[in-house]
Structure 1
Amino acid sequence: MKTYNYLSPLLLFLLLTLNSCEDQVLNLLPESTLTEVNFYKKAQDINGAVLGVYNRYQARKTRDWAVLEMPTDNIHRTGYFNIGGLDELNTLAFSSVNPLFSSFWTETYNGIFRANAVLANIETPIDYAVGQKEQLTGEARFMRALFYFDLVRMFGGVPKVTTLLSVDEGKATPRASEEEIYSLIIEDLKSAVDLLPAKDKIASGRASKSAAIGLLGKVYVYRKDWVNAKTYLDMMSTLGFDLQADFSSLWKEATEDNKEVIFAMKYIGGTNGNTLSTDFLPYFGVTGISASGGENVFPSWSLMKKFLPEDTRKAATVTEYWKSPKSPADAPENWYPYVSKFAIPHTPNSSGLDIPVLRYADILLLKAEVLYALNQPELALIELNKVRARAFKNTTFNYRAADIATPETFTDKLLLERQLEFVLENERWFDLVRKDRFMAVLSRVEWGYNPITKEPQVITLAPKTNYKYFPIPNNQMELANKGVLVQNDGY
């Protein structure tokens, strides 16, 4: 029997026998060890394999912040952090041996290999229901595109793997160019748009036609292909999505399935929960939320000072005062800011809160960016202010034409809204890099703040121009044949 590198014993724990539509994405529990000989026989086998693709993204998603938010001005590490490699990212000491880069790369390619296994075997079953094969194909291609979109933005050109490779073939596969990877992403997403059903015709948590359209629009923004980006982002306005009236409702279990979320990772507290709700809480927990917290990071003053008092996103994102649950009832709270955006009542490290991957606020801000690039600033202002007005629950703080009179001032306002809107949603690093702002923004940051003296803790860092790409993990270069994987410049 031929052995494929995506079929290591660990990866063979694929998913079977699921009870309901919603559970199809939630209860990602392994049933048995399978091989390519006996697995891909029936439609339910392919469905299980597709769920395995989602499982890989779901498992990785809860700790993506460690790579994509830790190097930014949004957060800084605490004395309690226990995640290897976190301190180096906090101080912008990037290196190819950082275990966080390595695990991200490995987990992402794991997902890609699973998607490739689905696509390689999609024709085998003959018992598909009407439209089922098309849907499963579309889901696999959507997820492969999503995985590659993450990789290409982080590392630049990466190995392009679209078939089942043997171990030897994998070791001989070089990096493709960024253009080749983006071409694959666009091809996969266009296929997904054609194959996937509408959002209301597929189980919550699975990719839909709307998700593929929205992600494709975002990909075109990263390519600065403004015309194509506008085409797909315009389509999103016809698909029934809208902003939630209350920003805080996005971060509550009771309202997590809403008109703003286009695609999200699903979790079940206690059985298949996420760690995100715990990671940022104070170590001794928060009364009514969790008995303990990870306290890995604190919100930086660089972020907190940008929230105006009237901005409802502030209270939904950061809690400024805290006291230990073990304190006397009449004990005062202390200045102890922590990220509370994902803080719902939960068992430590097993929260049932769903985590959005793409939401309509992102579409609106991307559309504003596109319209400005197409020399339509008055229309860009409308889209920008939709997000702004939701944040303040009125139009009093809306931007005016004079506020975005130049490309530079427009970018200032765009990045500000994106920063405040998407705290710890893994957009900040990508935004700073693609707008060429990371050198200026990250050279001087304010981590802590003393509310008595009113003085911030100013930190000087040394970002480097080559940091626009992360280093190719050293262990991956050592696994490949000599000279096959070429390191990014500067590492």
Structure 2
Amino acid sequence: MKKILFLSTITAAFLMAACNKDLNQVPISSSTTATFYKSPSDFLQATNAIYADLHNYPVRLANMSEIRSDNIYGVSVTVRDWDPVNDFSPSLAANAYVTEAWGTDFNGIFRANTLLDQVAKNGSYIGSASLATRLQAEAKFLRAFYYFDLLRYFGKLPIIDHPVTAPEANSIGRSSVADVYKLIIADLQSAIANLPTTYTGVDVGRATKYAAEALLAQVYMAKSAPNYGIEGPGTGSNEWNLALPLLQDIISSGKFAFESTYSNIFSYANQSPAVNKEAIFDVMYTSGISGTSDLYGASYPWTLAPSAYFLSIKDTKSDGSLEIIPVSNDLANSYDAADTRKAFSIYTAGYTNAGSTENRPFFKKWLDITKIPTASRFDWGINFIAIRYTDVLMLKAECILNGATGGSQADVDAIVNQVRTRAGLPSLAGVTLAQLFDERRREFADEGSRWFDLQRSGNLLTIMNSWIAKEDAQKAIKPVIANYVIYPVPQTQLDAAPGLYSQNPGY
């Protein structure tokens, strides 16, 4: 199986140098860029460096979407970084997860800007107009991907669409959500027009036209959601009719397929995007590269699994989180007894380590204990499906239920029942939006979509506060208010240029 190594020797050096991820970081100095872009391979490596900032994306989804949601009740014995995320602390600005999200995504944006600038200035070195166009399209897709990730977490953002110096960055304030959406949409429309539908050989796994269509559909849907009275991702724009044709084009393309067996979607033997027809866009990892596992391999499979479990099966590399981050009782109990997704996604058997027995469930969807890496816990060899075909189908159903023309209740029922049949469940008739989101919760558990689904539902506050009343036996979680739909601006950014940004309300 061939994969893109999104981190080459040069790009790995860039990534390791990117320890300071403040907004004023310039990832490649002007003197370096003046000499680096002299051959097609230089431009390809620079494009790979943009992909490299996807490396932590699935870990971020676990820490900031799953843990934030009603899927996890993560109260720890010793306060960990995930506790204030899970309990809605207003003092999150210095949290490591919040800081990482802002810094890594903007690093990817800076790299995309550098590549786009150099194609414009030195594109003649590429030698192929079609390759130059494709690399620009990949950079725009990735810039949109990072900006959309940031917008869903933070709301208003500084718009930086070209290389800037540190002093320039320190003068760029946050733009409105509407203006950030304009940049994202323009980038994705350009990417759709210029990305190929497929790749071959070592290029398999790069962003395609269909990945850009799926992302743009998600953008329109997030934008269409209620705004909760804050400057967050929802604007109430009612653009479901713009999302539906994009989703339908992916479905009609015949390039993807609904996997008949749920577990096979996540099988280590079904990794190549050329083989796994559920995978529309992967974050790709390669294990077993000596001395570089932290850069090439994955750590996300154990992010929500406890280290004590791994020790109980005699894995001594300290795989797993420092403490258990339990699946909520509410989610675990929501599965029908016949639902095959529960046993695959959630570990419920209990385990004993150092004389202590733990019976609370935890997520294990991405774990295969026969594939535990030998060298490093950061070297798991499984791709993360960032956009999968079942999601496209269910997003289509969501658009129809929100009034998009071009579909019917029968279409909605057919989609949901296809998902339920695969899970071993009986069919439903007259599926509602609430039922759709309920089904999505189980289908995409441990894939990082829950918090964003709650945002779009318009019922985030009601659902979360009802869940807290049932689940929070320790009375550790604060009431969820509208301001907590998004996160605070990291303290590092407020300190980098005092007065440039105002903090998000509520923090």
Band the TM-score falls in, shorter-chain normalisation: 0.7 to 0.9
Question: Percent of pairs identical after alignment?
Answer: 28
For the pair 1:230 / 2:244, whether they are aligned, the reply is: yes
Runs of 4+ in 1 over 6 A off after TM superposition: 446-449, 455-459
Q: Deviations over 1:289-340 (max 9, x none)?
A: 954432441111111011111111111100210334889xxxxx97342211
- Residue pair 2:60, 2:101 contacting (<8 A) in 1 also: no
Letter in 1 for 2:386: V
The higher-RCO structure (CA 8 Å, 6+ apart) is 2
Secondary structure (helix, strand or coil) at the match of 1:262 reads: strand
Q: Deviations over 1:262-296 (max 9, x none)?
A: 00111122432111122233323447795443244
> Which residue, out of 97, 101, 123, partners 2:98?
101
Shift of 1:27: 5.5
Secondary structure (helix, strand or coil) at the match of 1:219 reads: helix
Seen in structure 2, the aligned counterparts of structure 1 residues 238 and 343 have a Cα distance that, compared at 3 Å, is: same
Seen in structure 2, the aligned counterparts of structure 1 residues 380 and 252 have a Cα distance that, compared at 3 Å, is: same
Distance in 2 (alpha carbons) for counterparts of 1:473 and 1:387: 39
> Which residue, out of 275, 280, 283, partners 1:265?
283
- Look up the match of 1:382: 414
Secondary structure (helix, strand or coil) at the match of 1:264 reads: strand
- Look up the match of 2:178: 179
Seen in structure 2, the aligned counterparts of structure 1 residues 103 and 367 have a Cα distance that, compared at 3 Å, is: same
- Look up the match of 1:92: 88
Letter in 1 for 2:188: L
Q: Deviations over 1:180-221 (max 9, x none)?
A: 111111111111111111124472321111111111122122
Distance in 2 (alpha carbons) for counterparts of 1:325 and 1:458: 28
Shift of 1:149: 0.7
Shift of 1:26: 6.1
Q: Deviations over 1:36-87 (max 9, x none)?
A: 2211222211111111111111234323311122111111226477853x11
Seen in structure 2, the aligned counterparts of structure 1 residues 81 and 426 have a Cα distance that, compared at 3 Å, is: farther
Distance in 1 (alpha carbons) for counterparts of 2:266 and 2:78: 24
- Look up the match of 2:362: 338
Q: Which runs of 5+ in 2 are unaligned?
A: 18-27, 225-238
Mean CA deviation greater in 185-194 or 427-436: 427-436
> Which residue, out of 251, 254, 257, partners 1:242?
257
- Look up the match of 2:388: 359
Distance in 2 (alpha carbons) for counterparts of 1:279 and 1:44: 34
Q: Deviations over 1:5-61 (max 9, x none)?
A: xxxxxxxxxxxxxxx962433657625787122112222111111111111112343
Shift of 1:99: 2.6
Seen in structure 2, the aligned counterparts of structure 1 residues 398 and 53 have a Cα distance that, compared at 3 Å, is: same
For the pair 1:466 / 2:483, whether they are aligned, the reply is: yes
Letter in 2 for 1:177: S
- Look up the match of 1:7: none
- Look up the match of 2:301: 277
Secondary structure (helix, strand or coil) at the match of 1:36 reads: helix
Q: CA RMSD in A?
A: 2.8
Distance in 2 (alpha carbons) for counterparts of 1:45 and 1:26: 13
For the pair 1:293 / 2:275, whether they are aligned, the reply is: no
- Residue pair 2:134, 2:195 contacting (<8 A) in 1 also: yes
Distance in 2 (alpha carbons) for counterparts of 1:229 and 1:88: 34
For the pair 1:164 / 2:163, whether they are aligned, the reply is: yes
Shift of 1:171: 0.7
- Residue pair 2:61, 2:448 contacting (<8 A) in 1 also: yes
Distance in 1 (alpha carbons) for counterparts of 2:448 and 2:490: 20
- Give the count of matched residue pairs: 451
- Look up the match of 1:207: 207
Q: Which runs of 5+ in 1 are unaligned?
A: 1-19, 328-332, 405-409, 450-454
Provide TM-score, normalisation by structure 2.
0.82
Mean CA deviation greater in 93-102 or 415-424: 93-102
Provide TM-score, normalisation by structure 1.
0.85
Letter in 2 for 1:368: A
- Residue pair 1:81, 1:297 contacting (<8 A) in 2 also: no
Seen in structure 2, the aligned counterparts of structure 1 residues 290 and 82 have a Cα distance that, compared at 3 Å, is: farther
